[in-house]
């Protein structure tokens, strides 16, 4: 139970930190001593001699808005609970997870992220399910709420480029997500270290870092999708709903639809090996249109070094191989298409929202 108390303490500190950010504003009579001492909101409130770049001013403000919002606190709580829950399952079932002659025996530490007791999902599954929610909720009202508040035309009449707003929103949310994921990932590693007592090897550490980076890219995809909706739809509720609809579609219905399509195409009993392989590849490629499939392919390969192929292997290919873990570079090579796919999806969403934002005529409210 040692680790749970530590987590609680950690959360107390987080809450304390957030309260502190709100306090200096209460300072009366226009003297802003609070802002000059300690942490105290974005740097652009400081009376120093620096001239900040307008882009960084917007990013700072956006980050401050995120961190101070209730929305972010709630998400943080959910994700922290996820970490706690998956840590708990991992630690209770890690003993059974290690089998003799397991090629992954030397990667015990990675099991913290992938092992589950069959009741509660593992950390990776949690992230692949909740990541979209995080991305959608940080982006769904980024542009339309500015418009509805009447602040967009005011900001755009300042001497800044129009795309600063969109870019800054994206960068700010990405920074918030990255900090959060790295903090949580390292916390899980730290508690795991305390609980199981075996330090991770350099390879394991690197794999976890790459895993966190891929998770960030995955969330960034959903973030950009929801920013796109926030540019297209005037009502924040509509854009949130569209984002959630797409998330639910891919996490629930997409698999069913693929099954339905594939069912009619199952090769008959006397099909040749080539036909069966082609069918399998077709089925997997259909599945890979879903970003969550790409994410889970990428992460399982990275966190389970013994995975050496994501597609079907023929007997000839398997014959003579000695079961053993891949090196990090080999694992990365294996999931490179998946990573490229995720990055491409992110960029496509960003470009679409960029184009439609730049063309939009900004009227007041």
Partner 1 sequence: MNGNIIELVDLTKKYGDFTAVDSLNLAVKKGEVFGLLGPNGAGKSTTILMLLGLTEPTSGSVRVCGIDPVTNPIEVKKRVGYLPEDVGFYFNLTGWENLMFTARLNSLSGKEAVAKVNSLIERVGLRDAAEKKTGQYSRGMIQRLGLAEVLLKSPEVIILDEPTLGIDPTGVVELLQLIVRLSREDGITVLFSSHYLHQVQQVCDRVGIFVDGRLIAEGNLKQLSGKLYEGAPYIIEAGVNFDGIDLKNTRPEEWLQEKLRGIEGFIAVKPGADSYNIECQTDLSAVISKTIVMAGAGLNYLNKKEYGLDEIYNRYFEGGRSNGRRH
Q: Minimum CB separation from partner 1 for residue 231, in Å?
A: 16
User: Looking at beta carbons only, is 26 or 315 nearer to partner 1?
Assistant: 26
Of 1, 51, 265, 319, which one interacts with partner 1 (CB under 8 A)?
51
The tokens describing 92, both together, are 């209770």
Comparison of 156 and 348: residue with beta carbon closer to partner 1: 156
Residue of 65, 267, 44 whose CA lies nearest to 151? 65
**C-alpha 204 chain-centroid distance:** 20
The interface with partner 1 within residues 185-224 (CB under 8 A) comprises none
CB 114 within 8 A of CB 124: yes
The sign of the dihedral angle between the CA atoms of 146, 150, 154, 156 is positive
Q: Give the H/E segment covering residue 1.
A: none
- Assign 3-class secondary structure to 49-67: CCCCCHHHHHHHHHHHHHH
Q: Least CB distance from residue 364 to partner 1, whole Å? A: 4
| Piece of the chain touching partner 1 by CB under 8 A; list 48-56, 81-89, 178-186, 243-251 | 48-56
Nearer to partner 1, 156 or 196 (CB): 156
Burial class of residue 352, CB neighbours in 10 A (0-12, 13-18, 19+): middle
Q: Are 237 and 145 in contact (CB under 8 A)?
A: no
Alpha-carbon span 152 to 146, nearest angstrom: 5
Task: Select the residue interacting with partner 1 from 11, 21, 61, 213 (CB under 8 A).
Answer: 61
What is the distance of C-alpha 292 from the center of its chain? 11
**Interacting span for partner 1 (CB under 8 A) from 120-128, 147-155, 300-308, 344-352:** 147-155
The nearer residue to partner 1, 50 or 99, going by C-beta atoms, is: 50
Non-local CB neighbours of 46 within 8 Å, separated by 6+ positions:
35, 36
Per rule CB under 8 A, is residue 149 in the interface with partner 1?
A: yes
Find the shortest distance in angstroms from Cβ 24 to partner 1: 11
Size of the residue set binding partner 1 (CB under 8 A): 40
Which value, in Å, is the radius of gyration of the alpha carbons in the chain?
Answer: 24
Query: Does residue 156 touch partner 1 according to CB under 8 A?
Result: yes
Positions in 68-87 near partner 1 (CB under 8 A): 68
Residues 7-46 touching partner 1, rule: CB under 8 A, are 25-30, 32, 41, 44-46
> ∠ at Cα 200 (197, 205), nearest 5°?
150
Instruction: Return the exposure string of 185-210: e unless at least 16 CB atoms fall within 10 Å of the residue's CB, then b.
Output: bebbbebbeeebeeebeebbeebbeb
Residue 229 beta carbon to partner 1: minimum distance, rounded to whole angstroms: 21
Position 235 contacts partner 1 (CB under 8 A)? no
Our finding on whether 167 is near partner 1 (CB under 8 A) is no
Residue with tokens 């023929």: 314
Given candidates 13, 153, 285, 309, which one binds partner 1 under the rule CB under 8 A?
A: 153
Measured distance CA(124)–CA(22) in Å, rounded: 34
Q: Closest approach of Cβ 198 to partner 1, in Å?
A: 46
Q: Where does this chain touch partner 1 (CB under 8 A) — which range of 105-113, 150-158, 276-284, 289-297?
A: 150-158
Nearer to partner 1, 44 or 182 (CB): 44
**Whole-angstrom distance, CA of residue 23 vs CA of residue 35:** 10
Q: Does residue 362 touch partner 1 according to CB under 8 A?
A: yes
Q: Which is nearer to partner 1, 44 or 186 (CB)?
A: 44
- What is the distance between the alpha carbons of residues 98 and 191, in angstroms, rounded to a whole number? 19
Q: Closest CB to partner 1 among 137 and 338?
A: 137
Binding residues vs partner 1 (CB under 8 A): 25-30, 32, 41, 44-52, 54, 57-58, 61, 65, 68, 149-151, 153-161, 361-365
């Amino acid at each position: 139970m040692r680790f749970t108390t530590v987590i609680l303490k950690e959360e107390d500190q987080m809450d304390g930190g957030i309260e502190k950010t709100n306090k200096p504003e209460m300072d009366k009579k226009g003297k802003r001593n609070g802002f000059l001492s300690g942490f105290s909101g974005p740097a652009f409130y400081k009376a120093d001699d620096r001239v900040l770049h307008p882009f960084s001013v917007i990013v700072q403000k956006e980050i401050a808005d995120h961190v101070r919002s209730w929305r972010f606190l709630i998400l943080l709580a959910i994700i922290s609970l996820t970490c706690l829950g998956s840590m708990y399952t991992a630690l209770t079932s890690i003993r059974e997870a290690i089998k003799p002659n397991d090629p992954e025996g030397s990667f015990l530490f990675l099991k913290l992220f992938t092992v589950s007791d069959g009741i509660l999902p593992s950390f990776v599954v949690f992230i692949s399910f909740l990541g979209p929610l995080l991305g959608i909720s940080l982006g769904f009202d980024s542009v339309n709420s500015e418009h509805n508040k009447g602040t967009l035309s005011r900001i755009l009449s300042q001497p800044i480029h129009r795309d600063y707003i969109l870019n800054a929103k994206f960068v700010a949310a990405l920074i918030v997500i990255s900090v959060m994921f790295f903090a949580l990932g390292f916390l899980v590693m730290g508690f795991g270290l305390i609980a199981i007592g075996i330090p991770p090897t350099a390879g394991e550490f690197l794999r976890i870092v790459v895993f966190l980076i891929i998770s960030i890219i995955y969330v960034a995809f959903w973030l950009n999708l929801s920013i796109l909706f926030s540019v297209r739809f005037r009502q924040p509720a509509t854009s949130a709903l569209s984002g959630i609809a797409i998330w639910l579609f891919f996490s629930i219905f997409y698999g069913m639809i693929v099954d339905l399509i594939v069912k009619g195409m199952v090769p008959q009993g006397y099909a040749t090996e080539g036909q069966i392989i082609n069918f399998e590849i077709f089925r997997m490629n259909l599945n890979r249109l879903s970003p969550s499939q790409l994410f889970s392919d990428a992460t399982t390969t990275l966190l389970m070094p013994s995975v050496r192929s994501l597609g079907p292997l023929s007997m000839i290919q398997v014959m003579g191989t000695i079961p053993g873990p891949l090196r990090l570079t080999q694992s990365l090579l294996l999931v490179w298409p998946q990573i490229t796919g995720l990055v491409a999806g992110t960029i496509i969403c960003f470009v679409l929202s960029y184009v439609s934002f730049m063309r939009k005529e900004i009227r007041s409210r």
